[in-house]
Amino acid sequence: MEMERLQKVIAKAGITSRRKAEELIMAGVVKVNGTVIRELGTKVSPKDLIEVNGQVIGKEKKVYYLLNKPRGVITSVSDEKNRKTVVDLIDCKERIYPVGRLDYDTTGVLLLTNDGDFANILMHPSHKIEKVYLAKVAGIVKGDTIHALENGVRLDGKLIKPSRVKLRKIHTKQNTSYVEVSIHEGMNHQVKRMFQAVGFEVLKLKRERLAFFDVKDLKSGQYRMLSPKEVARVYQFK
């Protein structure tokens, strides 16, 4: 049976970060099988009963949702300014959180779960999960800009080369262009910054695909549960 460090198990249950979990253990509010544990290195198995502040953890059913994120909602579990979060949009009793981030004004594919392993698989850079974005930008994009993006732009000292850049549409009258970009990283504001680096402002951004998930069948703000097959497919990336 797989043994794991207590703080990791608490963090994976989605209650708190690993560092906070360590603080909780040291504060004496964590029990394993009824006994207070203050040792940080303690290993536990899935059979152990873990309580934090009297609440049993890790017994929650694993749930998985795909949301077509609307604009004007923050990708977070809670917000100090009391703005609406993506978690508020999902009607479920489990403690779910978003897998990765989309900006307040970005729309499209967003997964939410209470399964830390599942989230890690999708977010870990080594798995190079593909994300496809459609950006509406101000101005008319031409071949030189597409080539500049294809050749890669430097963000935070790292060369970012999209696996695919495609000019989808130009609206001459509106003076806007639609460009598809596929990336494998998940840096903050990455797509907006990539366009900024080649002299274009992103007016609208939609994540059309993440791995094999798309939101073609979901209206803005709509969501659905993942099928067991879809969950299993994600575990195959591991």
CB of 32 to ligand URA, least distance (A): 40
14 token code pair: 């989605």
CB of 194 to ligand URA, least distance (A): 8
Q: If DSSP codes are grouped into helix, strand and coil, which group holds residue 151? A: helix
How many residues of this chain bind ligand URA (CB under 6 A)? 8
CB of 189 to ligand URA, least distance (A): 4
Residue among 8, 31, 95, 189 that touches ligand URA (CB under 6 A) = 189
Q: Kindly indicate which of the ranges 9-17, 120-128, 170-178, 189-197 contains the residues binding ligand URA, using the contact rule CB under 6 A.
A: 189-197
216 token code pair: 């073609």
Residue among 74, 134, 191, 211 that touches ligand URA (CB under 6 A) = 191
**Nearer to ligand URA by C-beta: 37 or 203?**
203
**Nearer to ligand URA by C-beta: 21 or 191?**
191
Q: Which of residues 95-134 bind ligand URA (CB under 6 A)?
A: 102-103, 106
Q: Is 106 in contact with 206 (CB distance < 8 Å)?
A: yes
Q: Is 214 in contact with 114 (CB distance < 8 Å)?
A: no
Could you give the CA distance from residue 160 to residue 133 in angstroms, rounded to a whole number? 15
Exposure of 93 in the CB half-sphere (CA atoms within 13 A): 2
CA angle 91, 123, 70 (to 5 degrees): 40
CA angle 183, 189, 193 (to 5 degrees): 80
Please name the residues in contact with 1: beta carbons below 8 A apart, sequence gap of 6 or more: 45, 46, 47
The tokens 């059913």 sit on which residue?
61
Active-site residue 103, yes or no?
Answer: yes
**Nearer to ligand URA by C-beta: 114 or 190?**
190
DSSP assignment letter at 227: P
**Interface with ligand URA, residue 205, by CB under 6 A:** yes
Q: Kindly indicate which of the ranges 35-43, 89-97, 168-176, 186-194 contains the residues binding ligand URA, using the contact rule CB under 6 A.
A: 186-194
State the amino acid at position 91 in one-letter form. Answer: D
Could you give the CA distance from residue 31 to residue 57 in angstroms, rounded to a whole number? 10
Annotated catalytic residue, options 48, 103, 105, 214: 103
**Nearer to ligand URA by C-beta: 12 or 207?**
207
CB of 170 to ligand URA, least distance (A): 21
**Nearer to ligand URA by C-beta: 16 or 196?**
196
Q: Give catalytic residues, as residue numbers.
A: 103
Interface positions with ligand URA (CB under 6 A): 102-103, 106, 189-192, 205
